[in-house]
A and B are shown apart, each in its own frame.
Chain A
Amino acid sequence: MQTSAGFSNAKVRLMPKVYISTVMTAPAAEVWRIVRDFNGLPSWTPFVVESRIEQGAKADQIGCIRNFTLKDGGRIRERLLALSDYDLSYTYSILESPMGVSDYIATLALTPVTDGNATFASWQAEFDCPPEREAALIQQIGQGVFQTAFSALKQRFGR
């Protein structure tokens, strides 16, 4: 973030964070049915063309690894760290990706909006990266990935 000499040898900084949230006009159970499938990105995001779970594991087995291909050819491997059908949320980490991030952990969570039968959905991530790439990655992950996926899902529910 800083280019001057005083900062060039900075040793510590905060992990970049991304937080995106939206409201879907569908019951949480319905949205959850779609996003819960850890192997299901191709069915609801516009940027994943193909996905598989490694070593024949089940898609809701904690520790399983999804291996998917992006439209642009990039390949990403992510490990499922937690999944809760009670809280309607799951958490995963990135093992390999072309994005150049490390220690990446993300959580997608749904909460019912009782007033109107809608769903409040949030998607957040924390990761590490070279400082000069932080802003671009926050933009790419927040808008390019999370918001784009949410928007596609919202459209499916007619909004």
Chain B
Amino acid sequence: MVKVRQSTIIDAPVDDVWRVLRDFNGHESWHPAIASSVIEGGEPVDAVSSVRRFRLKDGGELREQLLSLSDCDRRLTYCLLEAPLPLMGYVASIALKPVTDGDGTFWEWSSVFYPPAERRDELVRLVTDGIYRAGFEAIRKLMGRPSTQVYSRRDVGNRGQEPGTGTGPAFIPPPLTPPHKGEGDSATLMPDRAKVQAFETEAPTASPSPLWGGARGGGIKEPQATHDHTRAVVVERHGGPEVLQLREVPLPPPGSGEVRVRHTAIGVNFIDVYCRTGFFDLLNLPGVPGMEAAGVIEALGQGVDDLAVGDRVAYAGPPLGAYAERTNRPAEMLVTLSNDIADGLAAAGLLKGVTASFLLHDVFAVRPGHVVLIHAAAGAIGQLLVQWAKNLGATVIATVSDDAKARVVERLGAHHVIVYSREDFAEGVMRVTGGRGADVVYDAVGKDTFAGSLAALAVRGHLVSFGQASGPVGDWDIGRFASKSVTVSRPNYGHYTDTPERLAPHVTRFFSALRAGIVTLASPTRYPLERAAEAHRDLEARGTTGSLVLIP
């Protein structure tokens, strides 16, 4: 076996280099040895197991298969399936690391293979020079130094930051943002609309009530010169975190029944990942994801009389479009924030808090004495459920994946904590309940836990399946549920919160529980809006406990 290991430094930010290299079919456009390349069967370039078939400039044809791809480690591994050369058992990895002093990239390209002894040196040289070093040079040329674009820090977005919500002490240094087409430029773009700036402080009269006001699904409509703009994270096509791109998008005046909100903190939820990847068909492309945020009202649309410019508000739920500096929202679904609820807390906690509230009160009403099993209990919603169910008088059994998370959940007051990687959790539940089982199971893990959750239920128990982080639960014969008279429900956030009447009690309950200290939320981890991709990477890597927020 031989090992080849080559590394270099590229004078460009690691995310820029990764964007190019993670495209499994992209070598066609940058590697000098490649003449053409296709992904077989039209699979996505970032689907693990996809196969690229490519032709070298010297005519040889090869097939390689993607074995692993990690956007958090910035690493991919692939193997050779067919080649005109005896590169037997060839497996290669590309890995990138940031160089923090100088914003460069460390790039390692390595492989192992089993060449015939007599061709060993020739093949090692081919891989080292003809593939890896030639590739380094090509990328170096391609990246050069960040283009001619001049970035300038925009100052208008920072005005009026609420105390405790802006660039807090643990905040990442001021982000560079793309040039803003606002203020200065607007005069030339809109010569007869000088009053456009008045939106900041007063309501426009006779709003044109644009068709796309509050566009459901976060879709962006074509720009119109007469409209204001805002910075937003836009998804052009479904894909990995890298499809989250910061852009300027048109922002019409708030329509009838709408208000314009300037966000101070934006919640990041797993459902945003599903929207990004297309797993849930909620986001019209190109569109702005996100359905949770806190901010300040900047302008009122027609017919809004119970809110005022300057009010602190928050929201959780559709329509999408929260990953933006400013946006228009239906006024009736906004929650007014009292002074003791910080913006970051509302943005990080409202969706989860309201969810926890309807899960514990509506979907199944937890009463004193109930045995409640909560999966992923160290996650953000899990933590709320544990604390709240305990306060409701239930016996709380929590499952977690490791000991560190077990300690977190123990501190929150769970009566029993099961580390499911070590112990069959269904057996654990039966053990601690003397064979009786749980009255209710809250399961957002899905595929990996569903069967065990059913097994852990008591007779007439209720399995609340409200997510599927590990994958869909698959097909089940409901006839089997008769063995314990099981109830299974699959609640949808919208159906419990889609009117002010349905939403309000949960908001009130959640805020009361927060004030009373019945539930606590960890300080959210903050990311600048432009680093939404990083936030998604961290969330998907399960490297986070607690909540994530984006700060415009």
- Report A's interface with B, CB cutoff 8 A: 1-7, 9-14, 16, 19-23, 111-116, 118, 120, 122, 131-132, 134-136, 138, 147, 150-151
Contact = CB atoms under 8 A, between A and B. Distances in A.
B422 interface: no
Nearest to B525: A14
A132 B98 contact: no
B170 A138 contact: yes
Contacts of A147: 100-101
A102 to B, nearest CB: 14
B5 interface: yes
Given A2-B342, A21-B99, A22-B102, 15 more contacts: A1-B170, A1-B526, A3-B163, A4-B340, A7-B521, A10-B522, A11-B520, A13-B546, A20-B100, A20-B101, A21-B97, A23-B102, A115-B9, A116-B8, A132-B169
B104 A111 contact: no
A5 B511 CA distance: 12
A31 to B, nearest CB: 14
B545 interface: yes
Contacts of A9: 517, 520
Given A12-B522, A115-B6, A120-B106, A7 B170 contact: no
5 contacts: A2-B164, A5-B340, A7-B521, A14-B544, A21-B99
Given A122-B97, A147-B101, A11 B522 contact: yes
A11 B437 CA distance: 29
B84 interface: no
B136 interface: yes
- 5 interchain residue pairs of minimum CB distance: A135-B169, A4-B342, A115-B8, A6-B345, A120-B106
Contacts, number: 121
A21 B101 contact: yes
Interface of B: 5-9, 97-102, 104, 106, 108, 133, 136, 163-164, 168-171, 340-342, 344-345, 383, 408, 411-412, 514-515, 517, 520-523, 525-526, 544-546
B365 to A, nearest CB: 26
Contacts of B520: 9-11
A133 B454 CA distance: 46
A12 B463 CA distance: 28
Nearest to B99: A21
A22 B99 contact: yes
Contacts of A111: 7, 106, 108
Contacts of A114: 5-8
A106 B36 CA distance: 45
Contact of A120 (B7, B171, B521, B525): B7
Nearest to B101: A22
Nearest to A146: B100
Contacts of A115: 6-9, 133, 136
Contacts of A122: 97
Contacts of B526: 1
B104 A2 contact: no
A12 to B, nearest CB: 4
Contacts of A22: 99-102
A112 B7 contact: yes
Contact of A6 (B98, B102, B168, B341): B341
Contacts of A21: 97-101, 106
B97 A131 contact: no
A9 B515 CA distance: 10
A2 B168 contact: yes
A4 B345 contact: yes
A1 B168 contact: yes
Given A2-B523, A21-B101, A21-B106, A12 B408 contact: yes
Q: Which of A2, A111, A112 has the most CB of B within 10 A?
A: A2
